[in-house]
Structures are given as structure tokens and as C-alpha cells.
A and B are shown apart, each in its own frame.
Chain A
């Protein structure tokens, strides 16, 4: 939990080490080292959150301890290396599951619900969208679709879709 009045505390990526134990019982672990290499803090089961999961997924990532106290902020994922980068990416992937829509097979309105059938980078999927307001434009041809259950789907670039998908999508946005 972020404490009221706390300032943004940027973490120096060089001092961080993110890892997972072999047994994976402790979840994601964080070790903070001082400049001389001494261990200044060790946290197990830390949580990571993207501040801008849709527009800047790789920037400003907060790390909280298991009680949700904010430990600090990583300015950019790219500053990390090796295992830290790998486990953090994995963790974020888990936290933020937003499949990318590659192809739209069908968008059909029935009884006030819009049913989509799509192919995503995570496989084929069909879902229901409540209204056109749930298709949100992020600009530059990017759309985030939210289905009735709150799942999100990413259309990274409308113009990169095939003509058929595009003509289906154009009717909705």
C-alpha cells in the first residue's frame, strides 16, 4: 500500500536483483544491494504493478512488498538485466494478460450484445462486448477491447489488420 504523502522513490536498477527460488514457494523475491555489494534488504513475495499498463507497459513499474507497501519504482524495464529482467517480464506477463488480436473473424450484434470471434496471439477466442463504449481508442490505430467479464484485448494497429478484419472493426469504432 502506498502511504499517503510518500514521494516517488526511484530504485537504482544496478542495486536490484529480482529472482525466484528454485521451489518457487516464496514467489517473486527482491534483493536490494548497496553500492558496495552488501545486502540492504531482502523481500519475498513482492508484487509488481505497471502504472501505465496500456500505454507504457515497460515504464514506471512499482514494486510492493507482500503487505502491499510500496518499496519503490523501476523507471524502465530495459534498465534491468539477466535474471531480473526475465523474472520481472514473466511476472508482468502474468499480471497483465492482454492478448493481441491478430484477426477478427466475426463481429455480430445479437440481442443487444456484440459477439466477437477473433484470433489472438494466445490463440482463438470468442467473447461478448456489452457496447461500443467498451472499445477504447488509444490513438494511432490502437484499440483496447474489454469484454463483459472485464478481460482485455489489444488491437495494436488497426491498419496492420487484414482488410476483412478492418472492415469489421470499422463498423464498431
Chain B
């Protein structure tokens, strides 16, 4: 038997599924399918009775649909595809069924004919027999049942199946096509899958936690240091030399105690002191070099990293922003990069210093007296074990602190921009209470960390001090008894080194806090950097010019699987046409225009601009030709002129002024003392909503886009201003393809056509007059409703 590739299913997967199938299944299949190729094979995880099993199978061959399921009589069902008029997947709670619709005139027995001729020669008894659970004699029947795990696979199958049915169905009466239901759970759901290990990613995350651990954060962060490798090497060398020089002075102590003082050698005293002064001088010199280079390197690296993160954040999809609070993202750019700086510069360097110190001291100590050295270093295992324990503990603690702090930030980021609402609803006290709660949580978490630290460090100090006392005791005994030729000078140097030995160990353990904080920060930063940006994979094409012909072909969209916002939209918008989008809120109007600007990608179907799929076009090119005027005009800090020229910073001053004139904005701008140089948001410059809106219209005019999107551009202003804005808009839409959303239906009178959306579907399309004449039309009802409201206001 040949297994053919079809649709999105790979031949391997069909083959593999079939190979997994028990021999009995394969035998039966071969008997039923004959020589026809199996195009799809699906092994369900449950049967029609709702029991989990791996014995249910669905096969589609070129001409048949074959189901093995204990819910079917004799455990199998064979249907000729030409007996079917439709198929759909009915989404149920926690599972789904494949429902088939049979031809109206298909005799019930025909359905089972194939199965009968092969399995049961007695056709007549079969024909009258109703199946217990699935009545096949009706016009439709559930034939295959599966859990949501198989949704993707089955959607694919259904799409293909539907495709196969259509030619047959066309010349029959088609009353039942796969309807919305199939779209709800379309095959396009994008479960995040890790690219390297293939695991399903945690929801809302784009970084695989498993691969994240493996990816060595240190190494990756270090890549930011690489461009400055000479700086790094210079810094490194100076660090090592400072450390080495720091180990020299105790050796001079030995000379002083053992040779200078016993012999009253003045000359040697002076030589020793001068040499020591030289050592100290070079140490300071190198140290200042080291500090400067370290800062230079550290700041350079963090600036680059911050730029990288910010650049990436700018290019992230709106979906990314939908899921996250502003404060969270801002904290990534500022706090986490600083954390990482301390890690890369201070942390990394400190490790080097401490390790060199440790090794250097150990070498010196062992060369002086290895027995005493062993004794002195006795507490080392305890200290390092405790340190490891401690740092693991602290990692969690610091992560919790970070979480609490960002929760607190989130409250700020939420309420400060919404302060008017807070005040209007008299919720100040509650907001303060909310903040206090978060703030207290930060406090509690910090105290928790302090509690751990406050025990750990003194305990470690005590342990190492005991080690020092041990050396004093045993070394002192040796000196007094004259054992092993140990002199006072050597013992003093030894004690000195012992103290110095524990300093780095404690420092390393303290470092672990900082290091852990930084690693957490690095993880989060790289999570952002690893989140794919808009249109990352594609280098889209740019067209020489845009006419502005927009075509929706069977477009569906959903944010979350199972909750469609737009369903099967078919729409053809001619160049220069003005389309008014009408519908109650939540009907999908804004989503539709978001799709045109490609803020989101369609879930199914496609949108064509001048015959090109939007996804094939260069994103920057596309957006260059789209102008948007939104309900809430957003003006940036900067002058009015800068705001108007936002989409075309190179525009000449006269162009800016002309755009403002066309937008009916010039008048009020010239009344401001600084004219076009007026800075938005400056004290004393309070622009009204309507004025801001006209500036944003000027912005769109200056950009001169082929496609214009107006989202409730006039809804937030008074009638007088609306007139001014409407006038500006009328000038703006000249010669452009325009898609306008308006709540006040009267503002859409200039539209060449109106599209009425209802529950994410196109309910009506037509001119104002056409739609008004439609009795019981959605639009007619909306108009009536609005005029009633208007009338009641007048009364």
C-alpha cells in the first residue's frame, strides 16, 4: 500500500501512525480500503462511548472515510465520500466529535454498503439495523470522537475532507457547510514549541525553561564584553597584578620579625620599609587603573545591552504587549540591565580576584608549612558547603523579592496613568491600600532575605575565626617548643595569610547573592531578547506603488483558541473607496483594522493588498502606506511640529504647516505663544481632545498614506469640533482607500459602502440607502435606535 502525502500531514506521520497500529487494524484497513491510498490516519485517544482507548481510528482514502470504533456496529464504519454533503467538528466540553452529513436521498443502507459487502454479505438485515449509539439513518451523525489534544490534527483532516466534498456537494443541494464551529478551533492555533528541544512552552513565554538552564547565561552575557576584549584583558591583567602584589607584604613581616628585630639591623629595616613602600605604591597605581578600566567596561557593556533590549522591545509584537504590563517591560530595560552590569563587571572581576587570592595564598601557605596549612584550611569545606546551600536559598529569596517589587511597580503603572478614573470614582484610599499591601509584601520579602543573611554571615565569621584560633594554638605551641623550626616571623605571616584566606571565601559567598540576582536578571533579559520580533523571519517585498485595493479572503482571527473575534470575513475594498465599519462594540471592528495594519496576523484566510498577501509584504513598507487616526490621539513629548512630522521627520516646515491647515489645526496652533514650537505637555499648554485629534489628523495628512484608517476619530469631541474634524477628515480621505469606524452613523454618510459587523461576521454590506431600506436589517435597526436615543435626549 502506498501512503500519500496530502495537506499538511507528512507522509512520515501517516506512515508512522500506521506502523504503530496493531496488525489487526492494518489488516482490516487494507481489506476496506482496497488499493486506494490512505491520505489521513488519525488514532483517537477515546472512543464514541467516551472511554479512553487507543483502538479508535479514522482513515481517509481517496474515496472513503473509514472509522474503527467500538461505538460503531461491528466496530467499523465505511462511508463513500460521494455520499456526504458536509462534515464538521463539533466542539464539546473537553472533547470534540466529527459529525458527517449525508445526502438527503441516500438510503440508509447505502451508507454501510461497502462495509457490508466486505464484512457481511447479508445486506438487508443491516439496512434496518440502527446502531445503538450513533444513528446513521439520520441526515447527520457523529462518527468519530476525540479529546482536545487531537484538535489540531483533526482540523487539518476536516479541512482536507471539506475540500474533497465540495465538488460533489456543489451540484447537490448544499444546505450545510462546515460552519463557524470549525473556525473556532482552526488548525492555526500556535502552541509555542521550543525550537531546540521541541517541548511545549509555558503559556505566555517564549523561552524554553529547559534550554534556558542549559544555555550558559554567563557565556551569553559575556558576548557583550567581547567587542571590548582588549579593555577586558587590560582590566584582567591589572586585577591579577593587584592581587599578586597584595600577597607580598606578609612576607616582609617575616623579614622584620626574624631578621631585623633580633639583630637590631637598621639598614635592613630601611631597605624593607622602602621596598614595602614601593609595593604599596605600585599596588595603588594598578588599583586605580583597574577601577577605571572596570567602570569603563561595565558602563559600555550595560549601555549596549540596554540599547539592544530597547530596540528589541520596540519591535516586539502587540501580542507581547497585550500580555504584559508596562511596568514590567520598563523594569526589564532599566533594572535588569543594571543588575547584569554589576554581574558582568563587579561580579566577574571579583571572582577572578578572589580565586587568584585563594590560589596564591594556598601556594604560599603550603610551601611554608604544609601541616599547619592543612590545619588552617580545615573549616574550608564547611564554609563552602554552607555557601552553596545559602546561595541556592538566596536565589529563591531574591526571585521573590523581584516579583514583589515588580508587582508594586505594576500598581504604579496602572493607577498613575489612570488617575482621573481613580479620582472620579473616589478610589484613592483603596488604591493606596492596594499599594501599601504590595509595598508591605516587598518589605516582608526583604526581611526574609535579611533573616537568612543575618544568620549566615556571622555564623561563617565565627567558623573561620575558630580556624584562626586553631592555627594560633598549634603554631604557638610549635614556636614555644621549637618544633619544626617554626619562627615567630613565619607564624605571623602564616596567621596573616590565614585571615586573608577566609576573606575571599566569605566574599565569594557574599558574591553569590549578587550573582544570583544578576543571573535572574539575565534570564529575564534574554527571555525578552529571545522573543521573536514582528516579521522576524520574513524579508518581505516592497511594491513600487500602492493602489490601495484591499481584499479579505475568508479571514478569521482569534486571540485565544475557542474565542473567535472575526469569522470568515470576505470583503473587497476598491482603491479610493471609503468603507464605513458599523457594529456594536465587540463586533470586531477594531480587530479588523488592526489586521490591515498587521498589528496582528490573521489566524485563517488572508488579506491581500493589491493582490499581495500582507504577510509577504515588507512590514515597514506596509505601515508607511497606512495612516491611522485613533479615538484617543496619542501625542508624544515634543513640539507640535515634531508631533505632526512624526511619520515623516524629514518633512519641510511648510509641509507641516500645510498639513496643519488642512487638518483645521493651524488656527489654534498660532494662538499658542510658541506656535509650532509649542511643546506638548508643557505647563500652560492644555490641548483639548479635539485639538489633539486635529494634530493627529495633520500627522496622517503629512504622511500621505494610500490607506487611511479612522477608528472613532470623532467620537470623543463635541459637535462643533466634530464639524471641524469632519471637515478635516473629508479633505484627508480624498483619493485614499479609507476604512472608518464611527459610532455616530451620521458621520459615515460619505462612505461609499457600509459594512455591518455582528459577532465577528459580516452581517450586511451596502450603501447607506440600501441598508436603510432593508427591513429587519441590522443597520436599519441601529439607525432607528440611535435616532430614538437622539430624540429622547431632545425631550
Contacts and interface: CB of A to CB of B under 8 A. Distances in A.
Contacts of A60: 653-654, 657
Interface string B626-670: 000000000000010100000000000110011001101011001
Interface string B718-732: 000000100100010
B670 A56 contact: no
Contacts of A6: 661, 666
Contacts of A59: 653
A171 interface: no
A10 B654 CA distance: 10
Contacts of B641: 52, 55
B560 interface: no
B12 interface: no
Contacts of A49: 670, 675
Interface in B709-761: 724, 727, 731
A75 B676 CA distance: 15
Chain B contact patch, size range: 20 to 34
Contacts of A130: 683
Contacts of A75: 654
Nearest to A49: B670
A123 interface: no
B654 A8 contact: yes
B544 interface: no
Chain A contact patch, size range: 20 to 34
Given A1-B667, A4-B664, A6-B661, A54 B674 contact: yes
Nearest to B659: A8
Given A52-B641, A130-B683, A133-B683, A4 B675 contact: no
B677 A55 contact: yes
Nearest to A7: B661
A45 interface: no
Interface in A132-150: 133-134, 136, 146, 150
Q: Is the interface of A mostly helix, strand, loop or mixed?
A: loop
A62 interface: yes
B22 interface: no
Contacts, number: 66
Contacts of B677: 52-55
A24 B21 CA distance: 105
Given A5-B664, A62-B670, A130-B683, A50 B675 contact: yes
Contacts of B682: 133, 136, 146
A120 to B, nearest CB: 19
A51 interface: yes
Given A54-B674, A55-B677, A136-B679, A2 B661 contact: yes
B458 interface: no
A8 B658 contact: yes
A164 B724 CA distance: 52
Contacts of A5: 661-662, 664, 727, 731
B724 A4 contact: yes
Among B657, B666, B682, the most chain A Cβ lie within 10 Å of the Cβ of: B666
B674 A53 contact: yes
Contacts of B674: 53-54
Interface of B: 639, 641, 653-654, 657-658, 661-662, 664, 666-667, 670, 673-677, 679, 682-684, 724, 727, 731
Given A51-B676, A54-B677, 11 more contacts: A2-B667, A2-B670, A3-B667, A5-B731, A8-B658, A52-B641, A52-B676, A53-B677, A54-B674, A60-B657, A133-B683
Nearest first, the 8 closest Cβ-Cβ pairs linking A and B are: A54-B677, A2-B667, A51-B675, A4-B664, A8-B658, A51-B676, A52-B676, A52-B677
